[in-house]
């Protein structure tokens, strides 16, 4: 029913394939519009929206980058300390 389509990315202008499988997935989710950006531009756009805040780890004192605004009322941990605490 679906066939691969070649689309042009509105961000970088390169061509990319909107596969039959992707079209079927879009239809199953009720999406009406075709993608306008290639995967690389979608990923770049998604990652650019993430703001990282720099703070100090409450356990080891190293620099920690977190995706939320740290507050003084709760400790913030670097990824290594957080993983160690989570596994305990």
Three-class SS of residue 81? Answer: helix
pLDDT of residue 47: 80
Predicted confidence (pLDDT) at residue 78 exceeds the cutoff of 80: yes
pLDDT of residue 14: 97
38-77 pLDDT, tens per residue? 999 999 988 877 788 999 999 999 999 988 899 889 999 9
* Helix ranges, 5-78 (H): 20-28, 39-48
| Distance from C-alpha of 19 to C-alpha of 32, rounded to nearest angstrom | 15
In this prediction, residues 14-34 reach a mean pLDDT of 96
């Amino acid at each position: 029913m679906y066939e691969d389509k070649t689309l042009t990315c509105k961000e970088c202008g390169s061509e990319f394939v909107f596969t039959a499988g992707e079209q079927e997935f879009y239809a199953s989710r009720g999406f009406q519009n075709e993608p306008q950006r290639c995967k690389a531009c979608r990923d770049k756009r998604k990652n650019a929206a993430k703001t990282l805040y720099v703070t100090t780890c409450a356990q080891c004192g190293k620099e920690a980058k977190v995706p939320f605004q740290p507050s003084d009322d709760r400790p913030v941990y670097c990824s290594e300390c957080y993983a160690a605490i989570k596994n305990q």
